[in-house]
Structure 1
Amino acid sequence: MLSEYFKYYHMDRTHLGLDKDSPRGRPVQEKPEIRKVIALPRVGGLHHRYDWQKAA
């Protein structure tokens, strides 16, 4: 569980207080024309990352 949290902390969690998206950074995701937001559970569902996905 702890290793999952470290992965979430370094790859997904925003660090807005430091003016950074995440410590390792990630590309800005383009919004598709027809879109919906999907939740990606992290740390056993305690946290989530949200991304855009093209809707059918």
Structure 2
Amino acid sequence: MLNERHLHCVLRSYIDYYHDWRTHLSLEMDTPASRSIQPPELGPVRKRPEVGGLHHHYERLAA
């Protein structure tokens, strides 16, 4: 961490990732903020970096 502002930015980014993308066993492999199903017709799966590239999530992006 470079300074307090950077720490807050990284923590906010991780909290967003944790609630929007990270699956939880206790939620039957869903996230706290439920996600919609992405059928194959939406396009190929793409890797998206989160938390400055420390984590990634995968989603289908329309072609």
Alignment of 1:1-56 (within 5 A): 1-15=10-24, 17-18=25-26, 19-32=28-41, 35-55=43-63
Q: 1:45 deviation in Å?
A: 0.5
| Higher relative helix content | 2
Kindly indicate whether structure 1 or structure 2 has the higher relative contact order, using CA contacts under 8 Å at least 6 residues apart: 1
- Structure of larger gyration radius: 2
Tell me the C-alpha RMSD between the 2 structures.
1.6
Give the counterpart letter for 2:52 in structure 1: G
Q: 1:46 deviation in Å?
A: 0.6
Structure 2: state its 5+ residue gaps: 1-9
Q: TM-score, normalised by structure 1?
A: 0.79
CA distance in 2 between partners of 1:53 and 1:3 (Å): 25
Structure 1: state its 5+ residue gaps: none
The question of whether the paired residues in 2 share the 8 Å contact of 1:10 and 1:22 is answered with: yes
